[in-house]
Structure 1
Amino acid sequence: MKNNMFEVLRNKAFRSLFTAQVFSDLGNWLDFIAIQVVVAYHWNLGEEAIAAVIIVLALPWVVIGPFASVFVERMSKKQVMIATLLLRAVFVAGLFFSPNLYILLMFLLLKSTAGALYDPARQAMIREIVDEEDLPRAVTLSQLSLNSMKIIGPALGAGLISVFGEKSPFLFEIGGFLLGTAFLFLLPSTGDMPLTVDKNKPAVEKPGFKKELAEGIRHIFNVPVLKVSVILTAAALFIIFLYDGLFVFIAKEIGFNGESFGLLVSAVGLGSVVGSILLGSWTRWKSLPVQLMSASALFSGLLIACIGLGGHKVFTLADWGWLSGAFLLGALGASQSVPYGFVLQSETPGHLMARVSAAASALQTFSMLVAPAAGALLAKAIGVPNVLLLAGAATTLLGAGVLSAYLSRRKTVHTKAGA
């Protein structure tokens, strides 16, 4: 039994795919600060413009991704990834030359659409090139890339801006996408070659677009562990993004200034990276992924509620105490995202991977899209600390409810088996 999650990188095909993903994930976050700097400082636009940027970034994952995934599965996954990564490089060049917000939003929409096509193809390719026993490690490394780049990307982007100017991250991002594309060319075409057709055998009519789309969605609801994982993740993301935009305000309440707030956010990100590494080294959780996800939600909720109580000055902590709590919150987040990725891969047949992945992403991105507005309304009505308390209670109840249901089900199964 291999315990080192990096063992999967001995698989040459996965190594090429993973390297391309690192450049892709870095590109998703490298321009995060640059876009906001251009919109808020260079063009002197307000909150509505930033909100428009966030909506345009998320919309393709909800609207376009599930429908486009049907076509992705009919095409070569390798070619889809190469084409979309190259297109993203072109669209980032458009961001660099954008003269106003409207042109910027157009290229952001195009870039995000290409990303919504790239990811289902990547998920399907993992399924094709990685053995069943290596899936937990492959999924963990993918999550490690996603979580790491959420920290490295914005930090590197900010550094590039300070040295080379506000639009410089776009140029480095283009270079990263081109390097990622070079690694994609090293992928094998296994599974992408057309099947040999027997002329004596009657042709089987392909199912229509609507039927194929429905098949992917139906698969989620026909597999109990996958259905619970998708819904649990969507609900958890809604709760997270309910308070995520308010984090800067609660940080003020618990004593963090503008400079030290970055440390708090980085602590969450660092925790998610460390959590991903630990889960990659210890893979026994793969026999009980939903239980791990729900237990993590339960304890995450308690931490979130504690932050809300800190905002009410019920108790105070030194900075290192709050930073430790933020680190733990990030690690618990990884304990939800990594098992979810494993369930998605292990419970979905290869020919449905793109459609199921895109449908799940659409549901989760929709949760992330509507939650910030709900959080802002709640903050005005009941105050920021109370939103944290509400989010913490909801997360704990969600985790406890799912965990209790699974433990009861397991007890019933054992009782029947012993009868």
Structure 2
Amino acid sequence: MTSTNKESNGSPSPSDSSKGLWRNLQFARMFIAYALATFGDWFDALAIQVMVAYRWGADPLIIALIPVCMAVPGILLGSVAGTLADRFHKVRIMLLCDVITVVLTIAILFAPNAIWLLPLLTLRAMMGVFHIPAQQALTRQVVSEEHLFQASSLNGFVAQCSKVAGPLLGAVILAVFSPQFCIVINACTRLISGLVLWPLRKLVQPKQWEGKGLTGQTRTETESVLTQWVRGWSFIRSRRIILTTMLFGCFGLLAILMIDYQFTTLFRAIKPGNESLLGWLASSVGAGAVVVILLLNRLPQIGYGWGLGGGFSFIGIGIAALGWVTPLTPEIWVIVWGLCIGIGNGLSMVTMNYLLQKETPPAFVGRVFGIQNSLSSIVLVVAPLVGGILIRSAGPSPAFQYIGMATFMIGIVGIVLQRVLWAEKKSPVAALQE
């Protein structure tokens, strides 16, 4: 009887909160579903690259279009997806996205060439654009505020583990079977994710959260999607702490993504005889992120300036240090600097998600994360191009040094000016309830 009541109403009771996050059956289901979906997304990423590059022998331009096609839906539809997540039933949006993702993933199996594959990947990425803000908004709905930081760190832990374990296991399966088999596994994980979420389809949003706007006015039922979309942007402009975080995050992300696709260029220049070095770097980055997220999960919260500023500082140190690596530098230092980048990545990612969750009223969480997704997608397209131009003009090592030092300075600004950028104010949820 108790578990039934938990899954039929919208918010955890105080008694549920005192029992700990894992006693929250709604979050437990969400966490398992999210883990399966995230793992599946990374599992077939390597398989698709192998299928396009080796089995089809596609042109390099076609291969370069794959990340672009996957970023475009976020640019065009991110803020709209967030608005729909706030307006409609969040679990049903996630279930619909899971079903369509399964269908599109199976369709990828029958794609005869890259011309058919690119639209399918774009549509599948579009489902992720709608799924993410719904998942974030649902987290805000079912998790009490005292457990938000722990929930954010657990989700970050899954994301980082999937980035490491997904491609690694995918490579093992790929060596034994085929790219198509990896794609089938992804479809299965997404299907199971939907089945785990299915019992939450009747979850009811708490009445006290419905329709609260910028000043607490009740939203009318006739309010259009366009009006709610505009109000989402207005909310971000009116909440300086949210706006500052998004702009700060975009600057840091721009610096990071400028070199994210250029590690091979750097290692080709300084360590041309060691093709496995990129794999060691990727593993160390993932390990650093996992370790710091596990440590953060033991804390009740973290200061915004220390989390975001400190995270970007660690990332900047690691990137700049890689720029000073020479052919004579012991390879262990590449792993050390990879751990440094991973620590900064985990620290900044968890803090960003926690801040946006905590400082946003529940009625606006979907729109805030949708808009953040749009801005991040724009950076995802622009940054690699800018980084490629800089590396071509300055050379790999100097470019890494410049970008690393710029990222480090962004982090230091965040730490030094944290009382100005992230002034602690009353929670907007509490303010709206007064």
TM over 0.5: yes
Q: In structure 2, do the counterparts of structure 1 residues 166 and 223 end up closer, same or farther at CA, with 3 Å as the change threshold? A: same
Q: For residue 370 of structure 1, what is the aligned residue in structure 2?
A: 382
Query: Could you tell me how far apart the structure 2 residues matched to 1:368 and 1:83 are?
Result: 26
177-186 or 67-76: which moved more? 67-76
Query: Could you tell me how far apart the structure 2 residues matched to 1:306 and 1:203 are?
Result: 52
Query: Could you tell me how far apart the structure 2 residues matched to 1:342 and 1:31 are?
Result: 29
Map Cα deviations across residues 276-301 of structure 1 (whole Å, 9 max, x no partner).
Answer: 1111112341xx12332112212321
Query: Could you tell me how far apart the structure 1 residues matched to 2:33 and 2:114 are?
Result: 30
CA contact (8 A) 1:290 1:339 kept: no
Equivalent residues in 2 for 1:302-321, closer than 5 Å:
302-311=317-326, 316-321=328-333
Q: For residue 338 of structure 1, what is the aligned residue in structure 2?
A: 350
Equivalent residues in 2 for 1:128-277, closer than 5 Å:
128-187=141-200, 189-192=202-205, 204=220, 206-255=222-271, 257-277=274-294
Task: Indicate whether 1:280 and 2:294 are aligned.
Answer: no
Task: Indicate whether 1:398 and 2:405 are aligned.
Answer: no
CA contact (8 A) 2:308 2:414 kept: no
Q: How far off its partner does 1:193 sit?
A: 8.5
Query: Could you tell me how far apart the structure 2 residues matched to 1:7 and 1:269 are?
Result: 27
Amino acid at match of 2:259: Y
Q: In structure 2, do the counterparts of structure 1 residues 74 and 410 end up closer, same or farther at CA, with 3 Å as the change threshold? A: closer
Query: Could you tell me how far apart the structure 1 residues matched to 2:364 and 2:152 are?
Result: 17
Amino acid at match of 1:164: F
Q: How far off its partner does 1:176 sit?
A: 0.4
Amino acid at match of 2:238: N
Q: How far off its partner does 1:404 sit?
A: 2.1
138-147 or 299-308: which moved more? 299-308
Query: Could you tell me how far apart the structure 2 residues matched to 1:28 and 1:94 are?
Result: 15
Query: Could you tell me how far apart the structure 1 residues matched to 2:127 and 2:262 are?
Result: 30
TM-score when normalising by structure 1:
0.89
CA contact (8 A) 2:152 2:354 kept: yes
Amino acid at match of 1:239: A
Query: Could you tell me how far apart the structure 1 residues matched to 2:40 and 2:47 are?
Result: 12
Equivalent residues in 2 for 1:109-128, closer than 5 Å:
109-128=122-141
Q: How far off its partner does 1:409 sit?
A: 7.6
How many residues in Structure 1 have an aligned counterpart in Structure 2? 397
Q: How far off its partner does 1:169 sit?
A: 0.7
Query: Could you tell me how far apart the structure 1 residues matched to 2:397 and 2:225 are?
Result: 47
Q: How far off its partner does 1:405 sit?
A: 2.0
Q: For residue 111 of structure 2, what is the aligned residue in structure 1?
A: 98
Query: Could you tell me how far apart the structure 2 residues matched to 1:57 and 1:393 are?
Result: 30
Q: How far off its partner does 1:252 sit?
A: 3.3
CA contact (8 A) 1:248 1:261 kept: yes
Query: Structure 1 regions of 5+ residues with no counterpart?
Result: 1-5, 196-201, 414-419
Query: Could you tell me how far apart the structure 1 residues matched to 2:219 and 2:285 are?
Result: 54
Give SS of 2:276's match: helix
Q: In structure 2, do the counterparts of structure 1 residues 323 and 227 end up closer, same or farther at CA, with 3 Å as the change threshold? A: same
Q: For residue 55 of structure 1, what is the aligned residue in structure 2?
A: 68
Give SS of 2:199's match: coil
Amino acid at match of 1:327: L
Q: How far off its partner does 1:87 sit?
A: 0.8
Identify which of 339, 343, 346 aligns with 1:327: 339
Query: Could you tell me how far apart the structure 2 residues matched to 1:296 and 1:73 are?
Result: 30
CA-atom RMSD, angstroms? 2.4
Task: Indicate whether 1:298 and 2:313 are aligned.
Answer: yes
Amino acid at match of 2:289: S
Q: How far off its partner does 1:206 sit?
A: 3.0
Query: Could you tell me how far apart the structure 2 residues matched to 1:148 and 1:359 are?
Result: 25
CA contact (8 A) 2:150 2:299 kept: no
Q: For residue 97 of structure 2, what is the aligned residue in structure 1?
A: 84
Equivalent residues in 2 for 1:11-90, closer than 5 Å:
11-90=24-103
Map Cα deviations across residues 154-185 of structure 1 (whole Å, 9 max, x no partner).
Answer: 11111111111122111101110111111101
Query: Could you tell me how far apart the structure 1 residues matched to 2:84 and 2:278 are?
Result: 43
Q: In structure 2, do the counterparts of structure 1 residues 98 and 345 end up closer, same or farther at CA, with 3 Å as the change threshold? A: same
Q: In structure 2, do the counterparts of structure 1 residues 103 and 283 end up closer, same or farther at CA, with 3 Å as the change threshold? A: same
Query: Could you tell me how far apart the structure 2 residues matched to 1:263 and 1:324 are?
Result: 10
TM-score when normalising by structure 2:
0.86
Map Cα deviations across residues 220-264 of structure 1 (whole Å, 9 max, x no partner).
Answer: 232222222212221111111101111112223443711232111
Give SS of 1:206's match: coil
252-261 or 225-234: which moved more? 252-261
Give SS of 1:121's match: helix
The runs of at least 4 consecutive aligned structure 1 residues that moved more than 4 Å come to 192-195, 407-411
Amino acid at match of 1:320: I
Task: Indicate whether 1:387 and 2:399 are aligned.
Answer: yes
Q: How far off its partner does 1:406 sit?
A: 2.2
Query: Could you tell me how far apart the structure 2 residues matched to 1:160 and 1:334 are?
Result: 28
Amino acid at match of 1:398: I
